[in-house]
Amino acid sequence: MTVLKTERLTKQFGGLTAVDEVDLEIEQGEGVSLIGPNGAGKSTFINLVTRRLEPSYGEIAFQGDSIIGMDPHEVVQRGMSKSFQTASIFPELTVKENATIAALAAEHGSFRFNFFRNQNSYPAVDELANEVLESVGLYDERENQADSLDYGNKRRLELGIALAAEPDMLLMDEPTAGMSPDETKSTVDLIKRVKEELDLTFLLVEHDMEIVFDISDRIVVLNRGSVIAEGTPTEVQNDPAVQEAYLGGVEE
């Protein structure tokens, strides 16, 4: 099943075309990375998909329905979550309380899961919060105040909060930015494990090629707003157009 589909998606800022007729499809369970040199249009693309920016023209369908014209929160309710680079943690609450609030918000915000959980709602929320904390490795920290977590664990909690909404697709914008090599490795391992366990569909924007090649089923390469290559990590790595785009970026 196709989770996300863009067709000729375009964003112009004055005379500059930041995203130029991008066709992209992400299937259920697929992990896709969007890469490209600085200014390629990656953030603009993500902002279009999350409805924070209005496209100049083109189509975006999520779960088969057009989301053009929707507010960002409606898209979240439909199952698109964004993790990292978001101030989603309540610092004064415990880890467990943070996960519970996220799970509750999903209960009330989503029409999909209310159907299954209409009766005994609180136990279901509690169970979901515990499951999420286990899956991000924070179950033992559950009674601690969120503020007391170290940097790596705070990022894990952010991922947990995003997962508690049971997203159909998770967007991640540089999830390991600012992390130490150890924290980076454990976050990458975590994303890989969560993807396997929960059959997570994700779209990742990341500069670190080692992470991208390690974590992605498929890579889409943007340059000056256009898709210049697409394929498995090996295919993309060996693509002359990609090598040229990156080398060109260095020369400029």
CB of 204 to ligand ATP, least distance (A): 13
Tell which one of 7, 12, 27, 43 touches ligand ATP (CB under 6 A): 43
Indicate whether 85 belongs to the interface with ligand ATP (CB under 6 A).
Answer: no
The contact pattern for ligand ATP, residues 44-63, with x = CB under 6 A and - = no contact, is x-------------------
Tell which one of 38, 64, 92, 252 touches ligand ATP (CB under 6 A): 38
CB of 47 to ligand ATP, least distance (A): 8
Residues that bind ligand ATP (rule: CB under 6 A) add up to a total of 11
Q: Which of residues 6-35 bind ligand ATP (CB under 6 A)?
A: 13, 16, 18
Report the 10 Å Cβ neighbour count for 69. Answer: 8
Tell which one of 31, 41, 55, 160 touches ligand ATP (CB under 6 A): 41
E strands in 108-186 = 169-173
Give the CA distances from residue 180 to residues 151, 176, 184, 185, in Å, rounded to whole numbers and listed in that order. Answer: 9, 8, 6, 9
* 39 vs 109, beta carbon nearer ligand ATP: 39
Tell which one of 7, 23, 27, 39 touches ligand ATP (CB under 6 A): 39
Query: DSSP letter string over 34-103?
Result: EE-STTSSHHHHHHHHTTSS--SEEEEEETTEE-TT--HHHHHHTTEEEESSS----TTSBHHHHHHHHH
Q: Which residues contact 110 (CB under 8 A, 6 or more apart)?
A: 77, 79, 165, 166
Closest CA to 139 of 126, 124, 149, 129: 129
Alpha carbons 80 and 216: distance in angstroms, whole number: 19
* 38 vs 120, beta carbon nearer ligand ATP: 38
Residues that bind ligand ATP (CB under 6 A): 13, 16, 18, 36, 38-44
